[in-house]
């Protein structure tokens, strides 16, 4: 199984970026590229070459779902796994995100000590 | 498991981030206030509206992530109100809606001041001890309650105190741990989710337990329903697990059970054997297992010892001079008071027929000498356990655990005899919950049952151990207060009446309160059980006629 190393993370709120960086880099040991908006994520993806996308849903400029759709149009990224992070986790809402092509949804607020494990578990599930 | 234990530096970093975020909260709330004021002035400004929506959305998300749940929840509530407006026609902003947002904003501002003023979400409610109703009352059990939801913390503290527990409340894991160093509580009631993590409560208890000889007796309360969390709670030695909203009656039941276990009386065993060596050996073995023993070498003294020592079990040699163990057991079985006390024969008799014969005469078990110590302990333990259970079933009311009608009356007679002998007063109170049928009809029988239990609990917790509480039947209860004169009894029952009326009972139909009426008759004013009971009943009737929710003296 391929090991998860590189995650592209989009979140506009700097306070949450900091916690997520602690959770994924320090605790999880992943290489993390943090983007402040969906637009930035689309711009960065080809230089960073991530294995997984971790996107906040609601962001100014370009929201998570739109950014994902743009990225999926790029060669080599038609099937990159994406995970949305959102407070909206009603079953029908989750289904909507899955329909957009996300492999999973992580509810917000997330537990900083458990986030890395959550991401790792999702990764292992989609690899198997 | 999270990486929490191996990386304390992460915890420290997280705490630092949290502290930094806490300082920013007031400014963020101020921004929200400004957007709101701007929006009120310029109704058509869609930009301001979206800005406000975004600001509340962000605050809701970040506060939650950092564990400032109260602020997160209020911000979320505002966000949802705005969201509704986004999907509707905004010109329809009703006055009520504006009022709702205003109220929430004020709440947000209050919480934000609390947060920045109190260094993170720290807040410790000073231990408040329950004033004892009577001097000489046993120390009430100490409960540590830990939850970062301060409203919930205050509400639960009040409710648990109502049942006679002393509660120290902590909104913060650190304060809780500091307090532990000074005092070990009888039970810890611990929230699962804290700012430190979704299972921080469990992890914290787990770590503390690993550093202790005796694990803390812990009940977890949680908003999470998933099995894994439950499993973690069990692994952390959690003795109870209650999903929120916690039904206080259920929590009290669990607390009663846990604190009662602490004081379960040692098993009491009488050993009847003419051989001093043999009986001393058995006594030593049982004492080492934590039991209390009384050795009787002269079988003719047994009946006298029984009435004083009140044993849970009689261990008896079969062959003794003066009278045999078999004869003695027949005598014991003819006495009502000991009909359920188990008798175990101990003898060198190896003949199975004779053993069975001994059993048919009222023995419960037969042990051949020499008996292995572990065998003796295990036979005695299982017999006593069963014996106590059967006695409890026969003497107490299943729902409330109080003495039943028959046993209450018996107790009144024996307490009255003692009062006469010692020349001390005694008060007998009868009480009846007001409009109880109404409770059952309107809130359902399960709710009615919980009311009965909460009344029983309140009395058990608040009276002295040697006072007696019984359920006479239905919603009628009796209380026997030893060494207590009429006036003191009235004061006590009035306090109990007021306290009971303050308990908020929950049901599917909503919350409600109850009260009771009470009549009291005392010795030496009245000097037989029957008269005391009749007079108390009359006084109770007067209390009902006089408008209920009162105590009347005979």
Q: pLDDT tens across B12-32, in order?
A: 777 778 888 888 888 889 889
Q: pLDDT tens across B215-238, in order?
A: 888 999 988 777 888 888 888 888
Average pLDDT, chain B: 82
The answer to whether the CB of B434 falls within 8 A of the CB of B549 is yes
Asked if A22's CB is within 8 angstroms of B10's CB, the reply is yes
Q: Mean pLDDT, to the nearest integer, of B252-275?
A: 77
Interface with A, mutate which of B61, B62, B64, B79 (most A CBs under 10 A): B61
Q: Does any CB of chain A come closer than 8 Å to the CB of residue B323?
A: no
Residue found under tokens 């929590």: B251
Three-class DSSP labels, B322-334:
CCCHHHHHHHHHC
Q: Which residues of A touch B3 (CB under 8 A)?
A: 27, 113, 116-117
> What's the rounded Cα separation, in Å, for the pair B62 and B79?
13
Structural domains in chain A (count) = 1
Residue ranges of alpha helices (H) inside B191-340 are: 200-210, 227-235, 248-262, 276-288, 302-309, 325-333
Of B2, B62, B199, the CB nearest to A16: B62
Of B24, B65, B196, the CB nearest to A109: B65
Residue found under tokens 């009689």: B314
Residue found under tokens 């407070």: A87
Q: Mean pLDDT, to the nearest integer, of B55-65?
A: 86
Position A105 in a domain: yes
Position A1 in a domain: no
Residue found under tokens 């986790």: A89
Stronger pLDDT, B551 or B279, i.e. the higher one: B551
> CA of A114, closest CA in chain B: separation in Å?
6
From the list A115, A44, A123, the residue with the least C-alpha distance to A82 is A123
Q: pLDDT tens across A37-93, in order?
A: 999 999 999 999 999 999 999 888 888 999 999 999 998 898 899 999 988 778 888
pLDDT of residue B436: 94
Of A19, A26, A116, the CB nearest to B65: A19
pLDDT at B7 over 70: no
pLDDT of residue B134: 34
Angle, CA A76 vertex, CA A75 and CA A80 arms, to 5°: 120
* Two structure tokens written together for B36: 């709101």
Q: pLDDT tens across B297-314, in order?
A: 988 888 888 877 889 999
Asked if A13's CB is within 8 angstroms of B58's CB, the reply is yes
Position A33 in a domain: yes
The answer to whether the CB of B325 falls within 8 A of the CB of B345 is yes
From the list B130, B124, B125, B126, the residue with the least C-alpha distance to B162 is B130
- In this structure, how many other beta carbons lie within 10 angstroms of the beta carbon of residue B462? 22
Residue B387 main-chain phi, psi, to 5 deg: -60, -45
pLDDT of residue A103: 92
Of B14, B57, B61, the CB nearest to A112: B14
> What's the rounded Cα separation, in Å, for the pair A79 and A35?
20
Q: Which residues span the domain enclosing A51?
A: 6-122
* Two structure tokens written together for B243: 């999903």
pLDDT of residue B122: 34
pLDDT at B274 over 70: yes
- Residue B203: pLDDT band by 50, 70, 90 thresholds? very high
Percent of chain A with pLDDT over 90: 52
Asked if A112's CB is within 8 angstroms of B65's CB, the reply is yes
- Residue B552: pLDDT band by 50, 70, 90 thresholds? very high
pLDDT at B330 over 80: yes
- Residue B128: pLDDT band by 50, 70, 90 thresholds? very low
Stronger pLDDT, B146 or B36, i.e. the higher one: B146
The answer to whether the CB of B77 falls within 8 A of the CB of B57 is no
DSSP B459-490: HHHHS-TTSEEEEEETTEEEEEEET--HHHHH
Residue ranges of alpha helices (H) inside B42-149 are: 46-65, 69-87, 95-117
* Two structure tokens written together for B405: 């009608």
Position A128 in a domain: no
> What's the rounded Cα separation, in Å, for the pair B545 and B537?
12
Q: Mean pLDDT, to the nearest integer, of B459-481?
A: 88
Position A127 in a domain: no
Q: Does any CB of chain B come closer than 8 Å to the CB of residue A13?
A: yes
User: Is 0.80 topped by the overall pTM?
Assistant: no
Quick check: helix, strand or coil at residue B505?
strand
Residue found under tokens 């929201």: A63
> CA of B514, closest CA in chain A: separation in Å?
39
Q: Which residues of A touch B198 (CB under 8 A)?
A: 111, 113-114
Asked if A114's CB is within 8 angstroms of B2's CB, the reply is yes
> What's the rounded Cα separation, in Å, for the pair B264 and A27?
47
pLDDT of residue A87: 82
> What's the rounded Cα separation, in Å, for the pair B358 and B340?
17
Sheet strands side by side (includes B551-553) = B468-473, B476-482, B426-433, B516-523, B551-553
pLDDT of residue B127: 29
Output DSSP code: residue B148. Answer: S
Q: Mean pLDDT, to the nearest integer, of B498-524?
A: 89
Highest mean pLDDT among B63-77, B255-269, B476-490: B476-490
- In this structure, how many other beta carbons lie within 10 angstroms of the beta carbon of residue A101? 17
- Catalytic annotation, residues of B: 475
Q: Which residues of B touch A109 (CB under 8 A)?
A: 61-65, 72
The answer to whether the CB of B194 falls within 8 A of the CB of B65 is no
pLDDT at B9 over 70: no
> CA of A76, closest CA in chain B: separation in Å?
33
> What's the rounded Cα separation, in Å, for the pair B283 and B272?
10
Three-class DSSP labels, B366-399:
EEECCCCHHHHHHHHHHHHHHHHHHHHHHHECCC
> What's the rounded Cα separation, in Å, for the pair B527 and B536?
13
Ordered by where they begin, the domains of chain B are 3-117 (1.20.120.160), 124-262 (3.40.50.2300), 268-394 (3.40.50.2300), 405-553 (3.30.70.270)
Asked if A116's CB is within 8 angstroms of B3's CB, the reply is yes
Q: pLDDT tens across B67-117, in order?
A: 888 888 889 888 888 887 766 655 556 667 788 888 888 888 888 877 754
Query: How many Cβ pairs within 8 Å bridge chains A and B?
Result: 69
ipTM: 0.80
pLDDT of residue B224: 78
Domain CATH number, residue A46:
3.40.50.2300
- Give the nearest chain A residue to B73 (CA atoms): A109
């Amino acid at each position: 199984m391929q090991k998860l190393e590189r995650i592209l993370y989009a979140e506009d709120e700097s306070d949450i970026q900091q916690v997520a960086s602690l959770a994924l880099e320090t605790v999880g040991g992943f290489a993390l590229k943090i983007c402040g908006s969906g637009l930035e994520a689309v711009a960065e993806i080809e230089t960073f070459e991530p294995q997984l996308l971790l996107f906040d849903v609601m962001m100014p400029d370009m929201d998570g779902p739109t950014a994902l759709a743009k990225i999926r149009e790029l060669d080599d990224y038609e099937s990159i796994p994406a995970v949305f992070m959102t407070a909206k986790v009603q079953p029908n809402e989750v289904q909507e995100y899955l329909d957009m092509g996300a492999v999973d949804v992580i509810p917000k607020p997330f537990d900083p000590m458990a986030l890395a494990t959550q991401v790792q578990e999702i990764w292992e599930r989609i690899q198997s | 498991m999270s990486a929490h234990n191996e990386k304390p530096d992460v915890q420290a970093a997280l705490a630092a981030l949290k502290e930094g975020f806490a300082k920013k909260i007031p400014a963020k709330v101020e921004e929200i206030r400004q957007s709101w004021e701007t929006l009120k002035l310029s109704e058509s400004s869609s930009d301001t509206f979206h800005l406000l929506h975004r600001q509340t959305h962000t605050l809701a998300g970040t506060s939650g992530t950092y564990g400032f749940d109260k602020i997160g929840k209020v911000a979320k509530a505002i966000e949802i109100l705005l969201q509704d407006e986004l999907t509707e026609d905004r010109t329809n902003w009703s006055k009520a809606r504006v009022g709702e947002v205003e109220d929430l904003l004020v709440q947000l501002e209050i919480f934000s001041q609390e947060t920045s003023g109190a260094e993170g979400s720290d807040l410790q409610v000073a231990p408040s001890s329950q004033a004892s109703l009577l001097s000489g009352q046993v120390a009430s059990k100490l409960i540590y309650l830990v939850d970062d939801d301060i409203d919930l913390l205050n509400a639960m503290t009040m409710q648990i105190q109502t049942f006679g527990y002393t509660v120290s409340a902590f909104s913060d894991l650190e304060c809780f741990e500091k307090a532990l160093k000074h005092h070990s509580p009888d039970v810890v009631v611990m929230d699962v989710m804290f700012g430190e993590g979704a299972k921080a409560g469990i992890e914290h208890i787990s770590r503390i337990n690993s550093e202790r000889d005796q694990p803390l007796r812990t009940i977890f309360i949680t908003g999470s329903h998933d099995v894994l969390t439950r499993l973690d709670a069990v692994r952390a030695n959690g003795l109870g697990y209650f999903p929120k909203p916690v039904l206080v009656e259920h929590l009290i039941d669990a607390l009663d059970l846990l604190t009662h276990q602490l004081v379960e009386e040692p098993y009491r065993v009488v050993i009847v054997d003419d051989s001093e060596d043999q009986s001393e050996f058995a006594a030593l073995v049982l004492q080492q297992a934590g039991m209390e023993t009384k050795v009787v070498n002269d079988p003719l003294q047994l009946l006298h010892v029984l009435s004083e020592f009140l044993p849970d079990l009689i261990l008896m040699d079969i062959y003794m001079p003066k009278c045999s163990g078999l004869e003695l057991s027949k005598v014991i079985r003819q006495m009502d008071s000991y009909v359920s006390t188990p008798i175990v024969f101990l003898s060198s008799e190896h003949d199975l027929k004779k053993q069975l014969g001994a059993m048919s005469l009222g023995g419960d078990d037969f042990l051949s000498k020499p008996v292995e110590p572990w065998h003796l302990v295990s036979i005695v333990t299982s017999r006593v356990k069963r014996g106590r259970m059967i006695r409890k079933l026969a003497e107490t009311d299943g729902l409330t655990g109080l003495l039943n009608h028959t046993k209450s009356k018996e107790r009144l007679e024996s307490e009255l005899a003692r009062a006469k002998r010692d020349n001390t007063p005694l008060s007998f109170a009868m009480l009846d919950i007001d409009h109880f049928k109404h409770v059952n009809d309107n809130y359902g029988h399960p709710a009615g049952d919980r009311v009965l239990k909460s009344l029983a609990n309140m009395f058990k917790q608040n009276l002295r151990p040697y006072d007696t509480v019984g359920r006479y039947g239905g919603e009628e209860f009796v209380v026997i207060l030893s060494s207590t004169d009429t006036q003191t009894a009235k004061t006590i029952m009035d306090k109990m009446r007021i306290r009971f009326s303050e308990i908020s009972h929950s049901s599917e139909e909503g919350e409600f309160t109850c009260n009771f009426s009470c009549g009291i008759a005392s010795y030496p004013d009245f000097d037989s059980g029957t008269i005391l009971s009749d007079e108390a009943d009359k006084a109770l009737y007067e209390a009902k006629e006089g408008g209920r929710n009162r105590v009347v003296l005979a």
